[in-house]
Chains A and B, each alone.
Chain A
Amino acid sequence: MGVIALDRLEVRLGGRTVLNGLTGELRGHAVGLLGPNGAGKSTLINTLLGFHEPSGGNAKVLGLDARTDRMRIRQSVGYMPENDSFIGNMSGVRFVRYMAELSGLPPAAALERAHEALFYVGLGEVRYRKISTYSLGMKQLIKLAQALAHGPKLLILDEPTNGLDPTARQRMVQLIKEIRKEGSMHMLISSHLLRDIDETCDEVLILKKGSIAAISNIEEERRSHRNFIEMEMTGNTEAFAEKMQALGCECARFAGGRVKVVMPDALSQRDLYVTAAETGAEIRRIQTRRDSLEDIFLRAMDYEGGRIDHVSLPA
């Protein structure tokens, strides 16, 4: 069973269709939600949380229907909203305890977990300060702390690095990685920053104009194209290419002596040098290149049809 299952999900808000027939299943441990502004990322999250009623189709979160099981979904989900959302008049620990109690923890357990969550995200020393006095980075972290405190099965992070300076961003990304590594909860991370998703997620859902442009397993993409090599060569590149193809590689030559090779697992880079020496070619520069999330995203943005595609690398 997937963490999130969408079946022709349609959401209309203010008289216009914001999400249009989304269908797909997300099974990853950390799922990235990508898309340009206005693609429908936040609307999808709000629909999963039950803030918006689907006008058509269905969405399931952890096997629960987003239309009929809202309370059970919210019980199992920790949500960190994109914008500032807190009670500034409260101290950090009181706020997180309050949120934990709303999620059903008894008061004593909620207090204990609030302290723990605040230490975990790095706000232990400022937990008795009013939230209104926190910096932007601290406010992001306290939103994360309240989302974690009740031990959710799914953590939904909406633009978690929004507005953070590089140090704070790195700290947030590191925290997300730790949570992912710990492995007891799934994550859905919405962001327009490809780097954040690239660093933290193993699966990505790309939205474009309210439709799914791609669902891609980032790890699989990387694994399947780990021997994608770009070279700049001189000499007899034609003979080199023919020899490499004979060895089972996919090989393409370009102007200026550029050669691209996708090697099977059985071959190593040493074989490139041996073959070059045998065919009278010289390797001037070599670069092993992994297919980046940016490539996947850019290809998905070119997509215009109604078909869901599992994005793969070009040969």
Chain B
Amino acid sequence: MSVFQHDYRPYDGPTTALWKRPLVLARYGLGEAWGSKITVGLAVLALLPCIVDLVLMYLANNPVAKMLVMRGNPLLEINEKFFLGMLETQCWFALVLAAWIAPRLVSFDLGDNALPILLSHPISRFSYVLGKFIALTLSLSYVTWIPLLVLFVYQCYASPVPWTMGHLGIAVGMFVGCAVWIVLLSFIGLAVASWVKWRVIATGAMFAVIFVPAGVGAIASTVLRTKWGMLLNFPVVMSELWQRLVGAPQLFPGRMDLPSPALVAVLIAASLACVAVLNARIRAREVVRG
């Protein structure tokens, strides 16, 4: 083919490896997600708390600033509790971002019935989901563990006393906590977006999937007088998990004493349910039974 000659010529150039094809999907997915001004706006908004935290860290670590601004107030301490607060804030921003981005990654494909064409190329359904998953996790990383670890590094640098070695667990805990949350959000986001073709409704459905079971779980806990209903409450489950990972003291001691394996099990179960939804929905062709 030639633009000028308008005739066809076969392609005999090099081709990329099969394993790189999901990265093509991820790259175009990122382009689609970040092509929206709303995405950029949300991402900027999500970084504002980090700037506030950065200022607080500066104040807490600078003796002169501490004296002038804080007037010797000892309340501001950079410890596990401080980082836990940061972690929770950023992770809830990640939920908002995921609710906006995930439908943009999948709904366009489903809405225009693009799956037959996409999957007629040498990518499998798994590769398709993997590509979208990578795009979503990278987007969410931008507002979660990346800024949090940058702030942790700053704290290590700014602390006037040896601080790093005694608090490495915070960094590991934040990273693992963010990773768990990102993976869960990505699974839920992609599953919801694959189920609901309309983007606005998919965004709403994403919040519903997180908060409606929480309400059901709270009712179940109250009516049945059991703590196990709280396992349906993703915000509580994640708060508990983050608190244990970072090693912060419990905010409300005795409120919930669910074992860690139960928390992990409910997250795995939710992820598997999302995989099942994706398996049912991401298909080149629908087969009508009967």
Residues of A near B124 (CB, < 8 A) are 70-71
- Closest chain-B Cβ to A64's Cβ sits at a distance in Å of 12
Given A105-B16, A151-B11, A182-B8, verify A14-B117 contact (CB < 8 Å).
no
Are A113 and B11 in contact, with the CB atoms below 8 A?
yes
Task: Kindly identify, within residues 98 to 112 of chain B, every residue whose CB is under 8 Å from any CB belonging to chain A.
Answer: 108-109, 111-112
Task: Kindly identify, within residues 102 to 129 of chain B, every residue whose CB is under 8 Å from any CB belonging to chain A.
Answer: 108-109, 111-124
B28 within 8 A of A: yes
B71 within 8 A of A: no
What separation, in Å, do the CA atoms of A101 and B11 have in the docked complex? 13
Given A52-B285, A119-B1, verify A74-B122 contact (CB < 8 Å).
yes
What separation, in Å, do the CA atoms of A13 and B25 have in the docked complex? 29
B12 within 8 A of A: yes
Residues of B near A81 (CB, < 8 A) are 116-117, 120
Are B8 and A46 in contact, with the CB atoms below 8 A?
no
Other-chain contact of A103, B111, B122, B285, B289 (Cβ < 8 Å):
B122
- Closest chain-A Cβ to B18's Cβ sits at a distance in Å of 6
Residues of A near B288 (CB, < 8 A) are 13-14
Residues of B near A120 (CB, < 8 A) are 1, 6-8
Encode A102-113 as 1/0 by CB contact (under 8 A) with B.
111110010001
Residues of A near B10 (CB, < 8 A) are 151, 184-185
Residues of B near A128 (CB, < 8 A) are none
B13 within 8 A of A: yes
Are A79 and B120 in contact, with the CB atoms below 8 A?
yes
- Closest chain-A Cβ to B20's Cβ sits at a distance in Å of 8
- Closest chain-B Cβ to A98's Cβ sits at a distance in Å of 5
What separation, in Å, do the CA atoms of A131 and B113 have in the docked complex? 13
Encode A55-92 as 1/0 by CB contact (under 8 A) with B.
00000000000000011101101010101111111000
Given A49-B120, A102-B25, A102-B122, verify A88-B111 contact (CB < 8 Å).
yes
Q: Count how many chain A residues have C-beta atoms less than 8 Å from C-beta atoms of the other chain.
A: 50
What separation, in Å, do the CA atoms of A258 and B12 have in the docked complex? 58
- Closest chain-A Cβ to B7's Cβ sits at a distance in Å of 7
Other-chain contact of A89, B13, B25, B32 (Cβ < 8 Å):
B32
Secondary structure call for the B interface: loop
What separation, in Å, do the CA atoms of A90 and B95 have in the docked complex? 26
Task: Kindly identify, within residues 1 to 51 of chain B, every residue whose CB is under 8 Å from any CB belonging to chain A.
Answer: 1-3, 6-16, 18, 21, 24-25, 28, 32
Are A74 and B120 in contact, with the CB atoms below 8 A?
yes
Residues of B near A83 (CB, < 8 A) are 113, 116
- 21 A-B pairs whose Cβ atoms sit less than 8 Å apart in the complex: A14-B290, A46-B284, A51-B119, A52-B285, A71-B18, A72-B122, A77-B120, A79-B116, A83-B116, A85-B113, A88-B112, A99-B117, A99-B118, A99-B121, A104-B16, A105-B13, A113-B11, A116-B2, A119-B6, A150-B11, A151-B9
* Additional pairs, 15, CB under 8 Å, beyond known A81-B120, A98-B28, A115-B3: A15-B290, A52-B285, A72-B122, A74-B120, A86-B114, A88-B108, A88-B112, A99-B117, A102-B118, A103-B122, A109-B11, A113-B11, A116-B2, A120-B7, A143-B117
